[in-house]
A = this chain, B = another copy of it.
C-alpha cells in the first residue's frame, strides 16, 4: 500500500469564494435556483470526503492489479466497478454534462471537485471524464436519432465513452489517419474500418457498452484533417429493441505504461470483418470534400486539454502535501542557521522549505490559471450578454494551451522536488511520491503534445481575430497593473516584476514575429515555442496571483497573527512573492535568450545527432 491522499482544499475555496466572481456565475438563470456561494464549502467538503473514503482507498489497486487484458477484453481493477457507479449515481460524474437537466454543476464547481477527486485516484478518473466528454459532444453535435439511442445511457454513466483519434501512424498529425468510412443503404450509418491506439478507457469490463467518438475519412473526402468525419461507433451495436449485438469492434490489447496503470490505454480495431457500423455525426462531406469531424472533435479535445492540466495540478499538489506531511515527522540533521539547536524535523531545513515553496507557489499558480479558465467557461456558456460571452470565449482560446501545457510541464520537476525531500524513501514505491512521478509523465504528451500547444499559442492564438483577441488580453493585464499600482501593501517590487515581464513579453512577441517574416529565421518560432509558452503562463500566473494578492493583503491586515486563518493568508502572500520573484523573471531572461538568435538548433543536420 503506497497511495496516500493528503489533499487540502483551502486554496480551492479561496479561489471560488474569495477571489473569483463566483456569485456572478451562480446568479445566471441556469444556476440561480440551485447554488449559492454559501453552499460551496459543503459541496467541496463532501467531495473531499468521498475522495478520501471512496476513491483513495482503492487507488493502490490501480498499481497492484492494474488494468489487464485477456482474449479481446480489457479489465479494470474489480474494486473500481462499485466506485465508478457511486460517482455516477451520486451526481459527481457525467450527469453534470446534461444541457437539459437542472441542477448540474457550473464548470467552476465541477472543475475543482474534479481536481479533488483526481488527486485521490488519478488512474480511475479518466473512466468518468471520457464518458463525460462523449455526453457533452453528443448534445452539441448529434442528431435526435443518435441521442435517442445513446444519450441517456451516457449521462447516467451506464455506458462509457472515448475519443478515438490516434492511430499507429497518425499521432500528432491526425490528418494522416487511415481509418475509413463507407456508406451503407442508410445514409445515417457507415461501415467503419480502421485501427486506433492509445485510447484512454478504450475498453473495460464493468459496462455493457462503450460509445466511441471515432474519426474516420469517408471515401472521397479531402486529405488531411479537413476531410475527417466523426462517427458514433458503439462497442456493441444497439438494435431497435435495445438489445446489444457484436459490432465487429475489438480491443486487441492495452499498453504497458510507466504510470496510470489502472487506466486502460487500448488498441482498438474496427471492422476487421467488415461488420463494424457507426452513426455519422453531422453532415457528410460537402461537394469540396470538407467534413466536420475535426472541428467537432476539437470541442472534446479542448475539454480534455483543460482536464490534462487539472490532472497535473492534482497529482503534483498531492505529492507536495504528502511531502510536507512526511517532513513534519522525519527527524534528520541540524539547521544551517542554528546547528546547536539539535536534530530537527526536515521541514525546518532551508532547502526542504524551498522545495515545498516552489511546489506551493507553482501549484497555486496553476490553480489560479485553471479556475480562471473554469470561470471564463461559465461566462462563455451562460452569460446573457453576448459581448461578455465573446470576451470569455476569446480568453478561453488564449489560455487553453497554457492550461494544458504549463501544469503538465511543471509536474515533472515539481514531483521530483517532492521525491527529493523524502530522501531515499522517495525512490521507494512504498511511499506515495514515486508513483506520482510515473503517473504524470503522459500529460505533457497526450491531447496534443506541449509543442503542439506551444505552436497553437504562437501560431494560432497570437493571431486569432487578426491578433486582436490576444492583444486585448495583454491590454487587460496592462490596465490591471495601472489600476493597482501602489494598492498592494508590501508588494511593490512584485508588481514591478509583473510590469517588467509584460513589457518583455511584448518584446518577445515582436522578436518572434520578426523571425517569422523571414524564411531563414522562421524556424526560431519552433525552437523557442515551448519556452515562449512557459513564459506566457508565467506572465498570466503572475498577473492572476497578484490579483489574488489584492484579497490576501486585505485579509492579512484584518486578521490577528493568532487567528486560525492567519497562516493560510501569510503563506499565500509568501508563495505569491516567491512566484513573482523567482519564476516571473524568467520572462525577461527568455527575452534575452530569444533576441540572441542562437542558430545552433537551426544549423543542426540529422547527422550531428549521431554523436
Binding site for B on A (CB under 8 A): 8, 10-11, 166, 169-173, 176, 197-198, 255-259, 324, 327-328, 331-334, 336-337, 343, 347-351, 353-354, 356-357, 360, 412-413, 416, 419-420, 423-424, 426-430, 434-435, 437-438, 441-442, 444-446, 449-451, 454-455, 493, 519, 522-523, 525-527, 529-530, 567-568, 570-572, 574-575, 577-578, 581-582, 585, 589, 592-593, 596, 598-611
Contacts and interface: CB of A to CB of B under 8 A. Distances in A.
Contacts of A611: 8, 10-11, 360, 567-568, 571-572
A434 B260 CA distance: 13
Contacts of A428: 255-258
Given A609-B324, A611-B567, A332 B577 contact: no
A201 B126 CA distance: 40
A446 B420 CA distance: 10
B606 A578 contact: no
A526 B352 CA distance: 9
Contacts of A598: 577-578, 581-582
A15 to B, nearest CB: 12
Contact of A441 (B170, B357, B427): B427
Contacts of A170: 332
Contacts of A351: 451, 454, 526-527, 529-530
Kindly name the residue among A349, A530, A603, A604 whose own CB sees the greatest number of chain B CB atoms within 10 A.
A604
Contacts of A592: 585
Contact of A429 (B256, B451, B455): B256
Contacts of A609: 324, 327, 347, 353, 356-357, 360, 571
Contacts of A429: 256-258
A435 B328 CA distance: 31
A167 to B, nearest CB: 11
Given A416-B412, A442-B427, A567-B608, A601 B350 contact: yes
A69 to B, nearest CB: 14
| Stoichiometry (number of copies) | 2
Nearest to A258: B434
Contact of A336 (B331, B435, B522, B604): B522
Nearest to A579: B600
Nearest to A259: B427
A92 B578 CA distance: 50
Contacts of A523: 336-337, 350
B567 A605 contact: yes
Nearest to A439: B427
B442 A424 contact: yes
Contacts of A446: 424
A604 B331 contact: no
Given A522-B337, A582-B593, A198 B571 contact: no
A44 to B, nearest CB: 14
Kindly name the residue among A357, A493, A582, A601 whose own CB sees the greatest number of chain B CB atoms within 10 A.
A601
A585 B595 CA distance: 13
16 contacts: A171-B424, A255-B428, A328-B606, A336-B455, A336-B523, A337-B526, A347-B606, A354-B530, A360-B609, A360-B611, A412-B416, A426-B441, A427-B445, A567-B607, A570-B605, A575-B608
Contacts of A527: 350-351, 353-354
A173 B334 contact: yes
Contacts of A427: 255, 257-259, 441-442, 445
B442 A420 contact: no
B424 A526 contact: no
Contacts of A348: 606
A571 B604 CA distance: 7
Contacts of A571: 604, 607-609, 611
B526 A331 contact: no
A605 B609 CA distance: 48
Given A442-B427, A600-B357, A343 B256 contact: no
A518 to B, nearest CB: 11
B420 A444 contact: yes
Contact of A445 (B10, B334, B420, B572): B420
A608 to B, nearest CB: 3
A107 to B, nearest CB: 24
Nearest to A596: B581
A164 to B, nearest CB: 14
A257 B419 CA distance: 12
